[in-house]
Structure 1
């Protein structure tokens, strides 16, 4: 997979998760092992994708003139992981979730712009 493809996949993923966050009744029972196992199973490929994206994005921003700083890649990766988890556990305020979502999209869009101009 290319960085461009993975970036676009992540944008679609967080859009889907954002919809889930907005449309799911919460909070959930955090002590439920059944729910935990479902979340673990559902999110494993998402975490794998974000990890791959981070590694590719770090290489890209280090090796080229990019508008994205390596620290932004790392913090976006952390934000993506938080979006994934909070989309299931629904345990942060809407405002905070929106901030994570918007800042992630911002950096993902900057990466796509840098790829276009590379």
Structure 2
């Protein structure tokens, strides 16, 4: 898949995750196996997209002069993985969540401008 399409899909997931964080109540039992399997099922496709995005973004960043550093790509993947979990477990303050959210969007938008 092309990098710009990956980014657009990830941005859509990012927005849905934010909606979930804001509208869904935290799970009653964070150790519930059923809840864990539901989270795993729903987030697996996003993790796969994220992995593909990281590979293609690193190729782009290392191969050309762009305004995004390879470390930013890696950090963005890690931040999105954190955000994925926080969106389901709702175990972080809103301010921290929004910092991650905005940081991820910033890097995605930077890469889109470079393409």
Q: Is the TM-score greater than 0.5?
A: yes
Question: After the TM superposition, which segments of 4 or more aligned residues of structure 1 sit over 3 Å from their partners?
Answer: none
Counterpart residue number, 2:56: 56
Measured after TM superposition, the shift of residue 96 of structure 1 is 0.5
Aligned residues: 115
**More off after superposition, 5-14 vs 24-33:** 24-33
How does 1:8-87 map onto structure 2 within 5 Å?
8-87=8-87
Any idea what the Cα deviations from partners look like across 1:12-55, whole Å, max 9, x if unmatched? 11001000000011254111000001111111111001011001
CA distance in 1, matches of 2:3, 2:13: 15
Q: Give the root-mean-square deviation of aligned CA atoms.
A: 0.8
1:109 aligns with 2:85: no
Extract unaligned runs of 5+ from structure 1. Answer: none
Extract unaligned runs of 5+ from structure 2. Answer: none
Counterpart residue number, 2:98: 98
Partner-residue secondary structure (3-state), 2:91: coil
What TM-score do the two structures reach when normalised by structure 1? 0.95
CA distance in 2, matches of 1:79, 1:112: 18
**More off after superposition, 28-37 vs 72-81:** 28-37
